[in-house]
Amino acid sequence: MLAQALPSLRPVSPTYKMPDVTALRRAAIVAEVNNALCAARCSAQLAGRETEEFVVRALLLAVIEQIDRAAAAARRLG
């Protein structure tokens, strides 16, 4: 009789999904690689501003282009 007096609750499906550890680890690695590439790009830019030699500047521009390409690939992974 007491059980009939209490309202019954319908079963509820869980709305919170546990985070995928593998996906979180992969995202963290991609973020770390992207940050390292950004730091390398900044270093190359600063080095290019400190030199007047054409060959050095051209090489640093090539390095920056490759770093940008790698950073774009890393962002696509994440």
**pLDDT tens, 1-27?**
555 666 676 776 666 677 788 888 888
Question: For 36-77, how does the pLDDT look when each residue is reduced to its tens digit (9 = 90+)?
Answer: 998 999 988 888 888 888 888 888 889 999 999 888 888 887
- pLDDT of res. 20: 86
The total number of residues written for the chain in this structure: 78
